Structure 1
Amino acid sequence: MTNIKTLSSFVFTGLIAGLSISAVHAQAPAKADDPLLKIYRETPPKINDLVHTKLDVRFDYKKRYLYGKEWVTLKPHFYPTDTLRLDAKGMDLKNISVVKNGKNTPLKFTYDSLTVAIKLDKVYHNDESYTLYIDYTAKPNELHVKGSAAINDAKGLYFINPDSTEKGKPVQIWTQGETESSSAWFPTIDKPEQKTTDEISMTVPAKYVTLSNGRLASQKINGDGTRTDTWKQELPHSPYLFMMAVGDFKIYHDKWRDKEVNYYLEPAYAPYAKQIFGMTPELIEFYSKTLGVDFPWYKYSQIVVRDYVSGAMENTSATLHGEYVQETPRELLDANYDNGRSTIAHELFHQWFGDLVTCESWSNLTVNESFADFSEMLWAEHKYGKDEADAHSYNAMFNYLNSPDAAKKDLVRFHYDDKEDVFDVVTYQKGGRILNMLRNYLGDAAFFKGLNIYLKTNAYKNGEAQQLRLALEEASGLDLNWYFNQWYYGAGHPVLGISYKWDDASKTETVYLQQKQDGQTFKLPMAIDIYAGGKKERHKVWMNDKADTLTFTVASKPDLVNVDGDKVLLTAKTDDKNLDEFAFQYFNAPLYLDRFEAINAAAGHQSEKVAQKVMIAALKDPYYGLRIKAIRALNMTNDDIHNAALPVLASLAQTDDNTLVRAAAISVLGKLKASGNLDIFKQAVTSQSYAIQGAALTAINLLEPTQALTLAKGFESDNKGALTIAIVNVYATSGGSDQWNYVFNAFKNAQPQAQFNMIRGFAAMAGRVDKPDYAQQGIGAIKDFGVKFKQFGIAPTIEGLLNDIKTARTKLNDTASAQAADDAVKAIEAAK
């Protein structure tokens, strides 16, 4: 599962200084004295085991019902039993019978709307199986169940635009099983510890295509305009990984070795299937070789659906993606690794970690999701280079370190309020970093050999963290109890203070390390690199206590002592280097985070020559993300910075090979409001990149608003992303009622991050537009946004914008709109 990310997380920035919140892994504050947190969440006992699940389903689009017939084969796990309990949420159960010799014998059962208790026809032993027939109707839209920050709904089966009433939206059906929502569309034992083969027959309108797990075994044309597709999943997997999708999709057929690889997209995006998903065969090959276990399923398909309730889902052999990955070539020009590609890598890795070997219980979700998070960095490193991987890893660590209450939660979590709570920054981002530290400690050969042992030992079964530990110990020959006890079964992270002292008389460099966190002391193996006399010397050390003093003999005063030379430690740190040392670090230490830290240090001291040298050099950093960081951090009011940076920025704006760097440079040049740069902006506004066009349009608007207004009108028929935001902002300053409908629809149809980025301009236009009805439309949309995302701390900013609208409408004598703005503020304040 990838949660709606930036997916790995949309991050609200720009309106609230210093705020960076992941909607993907938002952490609800722990409830004081919550009795549910005191419950030990044991792995559910296995009374009966699923063996095979056969489904025959058809859909009632008008009622939003599924009519199902099921034949489920089970056997007692160990002890004899004459009872069975199945999860079946919100269904009409019409018949439950045992099937023997081709005959159905009805059984007695009791049903409480969530689970059904069935009295079997006899006592069964674990050397015999039995098959039940169930005739049922699933009513997902009548089921009232809660989701989570990760998975925002839990009704299992979704009818999208079933009445064709929403113009431009396709008619689709799709399912979402994690965590325990498959039992909203078929009765089952809905626990991750269960494994079953399956066969699903779907009767659908003949014009649509279908997708499910496994292979398409048959297709039968019926006489009533429908077709029945039968899919067979002949290797066992957990019920939450069952999936169905139905709709008007175009299929692009690719392959890996001799296996099918398919991409299902809406027809409008089908021509770009290879550009969106084309790296998949290479990914499968890389993961197969790295793990020493070939891709284990019959085929691998990826499908993109509308209105998905999370980011993506790793259904066995059939991953389902939200529509954010569905982009045109122009949008793909501006795509960085976090725009869909990391999600594609994440979900594929789940086909091994999560699908082939599945967490035994949600307490051990780390063996699914931490690995998938880790894989994002692993693929970035292989495909795009170590800087990309390290940037991705640092951003993940930042999200964890800045998430409230995350430091109080164990990675393997036997106590929680709700199973959905485990889908958070601890399981994802922290877990991924823990695996990377372990990889660094053991070395690649031993680490990946351990993963190979874990996968082969537990294939088509379940796993937990202790089995991972044993596999890594078998591979490496090292005891890892200390590592798993502190990182998997403990909470928090080290808060590390680092300081230094040089003694010229004794030629010794002393490094003082102090862990400042409350609670446990972390045992930290690390590398310390000492740069002196033109050479680098590496020391492998262990920090075993809350405070350690390390002494090194060095021929001359070091230019730099670089603690955690591999930059892998999961830690919040304060490093007492001076500016000269950070500058040396930028130019000599090799890694992304070395340069990142140096740019941070230099950005705060741009009046100093050594900092200026770093900032100007960083404008040409080999990694595009650090070029952007340096561009945005420039203090252009400083004459030395201005004079040195200006020609570099002009060059970057016109020639950099990364569109986001060019856009960032144009944005900084635009804020200078220098007419001499107008030709650069006019040339840039013709780019195929929406990011470059958006930056250029904004820059032109600062110099020539009338020309910007004309340009904006010309872009209305083809705009996305940054260009859409720029158009909204141009109309907010220069447009009128004729432009309101465009602005309103652009805001309403945007993704949450884009809405946040354009909301200030949107609010300004709502404040001054001459029609009160339009103003109230805008107020309502802003109120809805504030209520929906209040949990991320944005309420004060949104309320401030609404108060600004109230003031503006009052000056226009529009008392109705002013009152609407006031009411909107109260609604946000009252929202939970």
Structure 2
Amino acid sequence: MLSCALIAAAMTTAYAQQTPQPENPALKIYRAVPTKINDLIHTKLDVRFDYKKRYLYGKEWVTLKPHFYPTDSLRLDAKGMDLKNISVVKNGKNVPLKFTYQDSLSVAIKLDKVYHNNESYTIYIDYTAKPNELKEKGSAAINDAKGLYFINPDGTEKDKPTQIWTQGETESSSAWFPTIDKPSQKTTEEITMTVPAKYVTLSNGKLTAQKTNADGTRTDTWKQDLPHSPYLFMMAVGDFKIYKDKWKDKEVSYYLEPKYAPYAKEIFGFTPEAIDFYSKTLGVDFPWVKYSQIVVRDYVSGAMENTSATLHGDYVQATHRELIDANYNNGRSTIVHELFHQWFGDYVTAESWSNLTVNESFANFSETIWAEHKYGKDEADAHNYADMQSYLRSPGANTKNLVRFYYADKEDVFDAVTYQKGGRILNMLRNYLGDAAFYKGLNIYLKTNAFKNGEAQQLRLAFEEASGQDLNWYFNQWYYGAGHPILNISYKWDEATKTETVYLKQTQDGQTFKLPMAIDIYQGGKKVRHKEWMNDKVDSISYQLAGKPDLVNVDADKILLTKKTDAKTIDEFSFQYFNAPNYLDRFEAIDAAAADQTRPQAQKILIAALKDKYYGLRVKTIKALNLTKDDVRNAAQPILISLAQTDNNTLVRAAAITALGKLKASGNMTLFTQAMSSESYAVQGAALNAIGQLDPAKALSLAKGLEKDNKGALTTAITNLYTANGNDAEWPFVYHAFTEAGIQEKFNTLKNFADMTAKVNKPEYAQQGIEELKNAGIKFKVYGAAPFVVTQLESIKAARTTMKDDASAKAADNAIQAINDAK
């Protein structure tokens, strides 16, 4: 799964720090792997849907056997259902069994006899699932837990398709069929769905039969012949267009809403190449009969790796114009993340949520190795570094182990430790062992545990078998310990003894981290690499050299997971920028130069970095420029004009236009006006913002002509222009843009939306805005955003009171109360 919890970390951190939380007693409970009494073998379902009631009518035949000890009882997870009949199947007949279903979460069944582990039995269940009546809380990663979702089932929501889809992780499959809903269980599967004939279906495995019925429905049967865990079961029903691709002799297909079907190949077309790359890298061919990807509306997370049938939120669905501006992080990393789960998560599954790292850390890791393969090492290093920063900024992350046997709720494990920290740790281990040994270890792990379950200890043993090294030290500090080193690096050159000393100091509380690292010394036009270890909290390493080095580059591969302070001079950073090979070498130099742009060496770095080979560093440098300084502006402006007009990356062109726009130089108006004809939404949005700073009336006029075709950065630019300069006439556009925005976009524009809600003339418009803010505050309270939304509503209340709009002021008051009362 890819978490959708990306919203404003600074906002969350600020409010989280205001109110320290008392220790949760649930954190003292050891979360053991669930004891296996019975094992799932095969699950057969026959389901149909009641769109009006939002019900699923199901019949199930589930085959099981005792795991080891004899038993005469069975407990199944079954959340919020009507259980009409539970029987054991004997000689083709259903023999009713006694059962107890008191908590509406699980059912205890008394079997007809004592069964031993050399005999299986089949239970028949007739049931109704009522997901919309189920009260199950979600998490920051998965914001709902109903299991089965009816999207616009009555067709009453304009411009929204009617769909049904499922979401099983963590333990929500049992909201739509009774099962032992634990990742340590594995079962083969057969699902028969009866649906309106106009719709297509998707499920795990292979479509083996289709039958058209006289009542306008069709019955589809999907079979999954290889075992997988219940949380990976999936169904989807709706009006999707299917684009069929292939990898070797296996079908690869993409299910999209009809209007996005022309872009299927642009969105997903690299999937067969990625399947081939991962298959060869791991030495294990893609294990399932097919691979499908489907895009749905109103998804409750980012994406989900259901076996052979990944489900994506609609943010990966895009037109050609949107895809022009897409970088690796806009959907492509998600696509490979979920694909890698088909091995790590589906083929071998974490045996418990405590060991989620063997699923999610690997999927995160896969994003980096695909980026390196497809786009080059700079893209990979940029992605890996951004993930590390995401972990370092995450509140409380440094107190949590990667393998986590203590947690308040299983949903809590889906966090920056499991994802971003875990991925970085795997990249460090790959660097330490070398590619050959690392991937041999993954191959051993996958083959040893195929169609079974794994945990971090099995992973360690596989790496040790491959490399011949004892890796307990590594797993103890990174998997079974919390936190990270905070590393201070300083240097001293002794001219008399021709000695360079590197001083290393870890300043974090708690454990000392054992850190292998490369140190590159540049001198006399040559680079010499030294392999070193930091074993103590304070350490130093000395080198006898012919003369003072040009650069000592500690952690030369830039791979350590650490918060680092490096006492290089600006001259050393300049040498690093022009001579050291990695993305972070240049990134660090740009940061150092940006901090004081009065220095000639700093200006030299920044001007050179405007033409860096990696687009992300060009964008970073443009944003870092202090154009109020004459010498910086005079040197940079001609390059910015060139970048704005000719750079091969639209995000660089947009950043350059944005920087030039801030100069408010009328001489650039022609450039901005020409940029308005770009096919890129990002370039158009930047140009509109720039024109707005020179001539707001002209910008407003241009914006009106863009209302019918705008997405992404252009939508944001129009919205910002309207919220700053518009009023009632512009409100419908702003309101629609806000209601249609994704989670992150909502938070990015929430302040401006609230400001416009405060100032519109019509009370009904103000109340529309207040209602949307209330909904945002309640829905995303789990992200810690409620205090921020409440602050905006208080400002709106004050403004509407001044305007003598008592009805809207009261609505704001009620909205604040509703957010505060929401669970």
TM-score, normalised with respect to structure 2: 0.97
Measured after TM superposition, the shift of residue 33 of structure 1 is: 3.4
Deviation (angstroms), 1:806: 5.4
- Give the drift of 1:98: 1.0
3-state SS in 2 of match to 1:776: helix
> After the TM superposition, which of the residue ranges 256-265 and 589-598 deviates more from structure 2?
589-598
1:634 correspondence with 2:625: yes
Determine whether 1:65 maps to 2:29.
no
Q: For residues 490 and 683 of structure 1, what CA distance do their matches in structure 2 show? A: 56
1:447-458 residue pairs with structure 2 within 5 A?
A: 447-458=438-449
Q: Following the alignment from structure 2 to structure 1, what is the Cα–Cα distance between the partners of residues 13 and 712?
A: 20
Letter in 1 for 2:4: I
How far off is 1:29 after superposition? 9.2
CA distance in 2, matches of 1:783, 1:130: 51
* 1:86-165 to 2 correspondences below 5 Å: 86-112=76-102, 113-165=104-156
Amino acid at match of 1:622: K
Paired residue type of 1:245: A
Distance in 1, matches of 2:590 and 2:476, equals: 36
Please give the per-residue CA displacement for 1:481-540, whole angstroms capped at 9, x wherever unaligned: 111111111111111111111101111110111111111111110001111111111100
Matched with 1:462 is 453
Paired residues of 1:747 and 1:755 also in contact (CA < 8 A):
yes
> Do structure 1's residue 239 and structure 2's residue 214 form an aligned pair?
no
Quote the residue 2:592 is aligned against.
601
Q: CA 1:544–1:384 in structure 2 vs 1: closer, same or farther (change >3 Å)?
A: same
Deviation of residue 305 (structure 1)?
0.5
**TM superposition shift of 1:108:** 1.1
Structure 2 spans left out of the alignment, 5+ residues: none
**Higher deviation after alignment, 257-266 or 132-141:** 132-141
AA at the equivalent of 1:51: I
Give me the whole-angstrom Cα distance separating, in 1, the residues matched to 2:366 and 2:472: 24
**Which residue of 2 is the match for residue 2 of structure 1?**
2
The Cα offsets for residues 284-337 of structure 1, whole Å up to 9 and x where unpaired, read as: 000000000000000000000011110000000000000000000000011011
Q: CA deviation at 1:799?
A: 5.6
Q: Aligned runs of 1:522-561 on 2, under 5 Å? A: 522-561=513-552
Q: Contact between 2:654 and 2:683, CA under 8 Å: does it hold in 1? A: yes
1:77–1:789: structure 2 CA closer, same or farther, 3 Å change rule? closer
- Quick one: structure 1 residues 10 and 825, their matched pair in 2 at CA, closer, same or farther if it must change by over 3 Å? closer
Scaled by the length of structure 1, what TM-score is found?
0.96
Instruction: Name the counterpart of 2:677.
Output: 686
Question: Contact 1:528–1:538 (CA<8 Å) still a contact in 2?
Answer: yes
Match of 2:506 in 1: 515
Matched residue type, 2:488: G
One-letter identity of the residue aligned with 2:224: Q
One-letter identity of the residue aligned with 2:127 = Y
User: Match of 1:339, SS?
Assistant: helix
Aligned residue among 254, 257, 268 for 1:263: 254
CA distance in 1 between partners of 2:743 and 2:219 (Å): 38
User: Is the CA contact (8 Å cut-off) linking 2:7 and 2:783 kept in structure 1?
Assistant: no
Structure 1 segment 354-393 matched on structure 2, within 5 A: 354-393=345-384
- Asked whether the 8 Å contact 1:732–1:765 carries over to 2, the reply is yes
Please state how far the C-alpha of 1:794 moved relative to its aligned partner: 5.3
Q: Deviations over 1:750-769 (max 9, x none)?
A: 11322333334434433433
- 1:15 is aligned to none
Q: Output the amino acid matched with 2:2.
A: T
Structure 2 Cα separation of the partners of residues 395 and 64 of structure 1: 41
1:251 aligns with 2:270: no
CA distance in 1, matches of 2:330, 2:18: 26
The one of 202, 205, 208 aligned to 1:217:
208
1:30 touches 1:405 (CA, 8 Å); kept in 2? no
Q: In the TM superposition, what whole-angstrom CA distance separates every residue of 1:436-463 from its partner, at most 9, and x where no partner exists?
A: 0100000000000000010001100111
* Larger mean Cα displacement after TM superposition, 302-311 or 35-44: 35-44
Q: Distance in 2 between matches of 1:828 and 1:84?
A: 42
2:35 paired residue among 45, 65, 72: 45
Match in the other structure for 2:74: 84
By how many angstroms is 1:812 displaced? 4.7
Corresponding position: 1:276 with 2:271: no
1:740 and 2:706 aligned: no
2:286 corresponds to: 295
Task: Indicate whether 1:753 and 2:744 are aligned.
Answer: yes
* Deviations 1:156-192, CA, capped at 9 Å, x for gaps: 1111111111111111111111111111111111111
Paired with 1:817 and 1:619, the residues of 2 have a C-alpha distance of 49
Query: After superposition, where does 1:7-22 map in structure 2 within 5 Å?
Result: 9-11=6-8
Q: Go from structure 1 to structure 2 and tell me whether the alpha carbon gap of 1:267 and 1:437 turns closer, same or farther (over 3 Å shift).
A: same
Q: RMSD in angstroms over aligned alpha carbons?
A: 2.1
Contact persistence 2:42–2:187 (CA under 8 A): yes
Query: Which deviates the most, 213-222 or 110-119?
Result: 110-119
Residue 418 and residue 808 in structure 1: after superposition, are their counterparts in 2 closer, same or farther (change >3 A)?
closer
Matches of 2:214 and 2:385, distance apart in 1: 58
Letter in 1 for 2:345: G
Where 2:323 maps in the other structure, the secondary structure is helix
Partner amino acid, structure 2, of 1:681: F
- Check 1:213–1:783 CA distance in 2 against 1; reply closer, same or farther (3 A cut): closer
Q: How does 1:640-679 map to 2 (within 5 A)?
A: 640-679=631-670
Question: Which amino acid in structure 2 is aligned with residue 42 of structure 1?
Answer: A
In 1, the alpha carbon distance for the partners of 2:620 and 2:790 equals 30
Given that residues 774 and 816 in structure 2 are in contact (C-alpha distance below 8 angstroms), is that contact kept between their aligned partners in structure 1? yes
Measure, in 2, the Cα distance between the counterparts of 1:451 and 1:349: 12
State the Cα distance separating 1:816 from its structure 2 match: 4.8
Q: In 2, Cα distance between the equivalents of 1:481 and 1:659? A: 47
Tell me how far apart the structure 1 counterparts of residues 783 and 452 of structure 2 sit (CA, whole Å). 38
Q: Displacement of 1:778 after TM fit?
A: 2.7
2:407 maps to: 416
Which of 557, 562, 571 is equivalent to 2:562?
A: 571
* Mapped partners of 1:627, 1:31: distance in 2: 42
- The verdict on how the C-alpha distance between 1:11 and 1:328 changes in structure 2, with shifts beyond 3 A counting, is farther
What code does the residue aligned with 1:505 have? A
CA shift for structure 1 position 739: 1.9
Which of 144, 158, 177 pairs up with 1:167? 158
Q: Deviations over 1:672-706 (max 9, x none)?
A: 11110001100101111111101101111111122
Partner of 1:306: 297
How big is each residue's C-alpha offset from its partner over 1:717-760, in whole Å with a ceiling of 9 and x where there is no partner? 10011111111222233333222111111112111322333334
State the alpha-carbon separation in 2 of the partners of residues 818 and 65 from structure 1. 40
Cα separation, 1, equivalents of 2:794 and 2:39: 60
Aligned partners of 2:266 and 2:725: how far apart in 1? 38
User: Does 1:618 pair with 2:609?
Assistant: yes
How big is each residue's C-alpha offset from its partner over 1:591-613, in whole Å with a ceiling of 9 and x where there is no partner? Answer: 11111111111111001111111
User: Residues 609 and 786 from structure 1, CA distance in 2 versus in 1: closer, same or farther, beyond 3 angstroms?
Assistant: farther
Q: 1:220/1:499 Cα in 2 relative to 1: closer, same or farther (>3 Å)?
A: same
Q: Which residue does 2:46 correspond to in 1?
A: 56
Q: Which is worse superposed, 803-812 or 736-745?
A: 803-812
Alignment CA distance shift 1:148-1:581 (3 Å): same
| Alignment-derived partner of residue 33 in structure 1 | 23
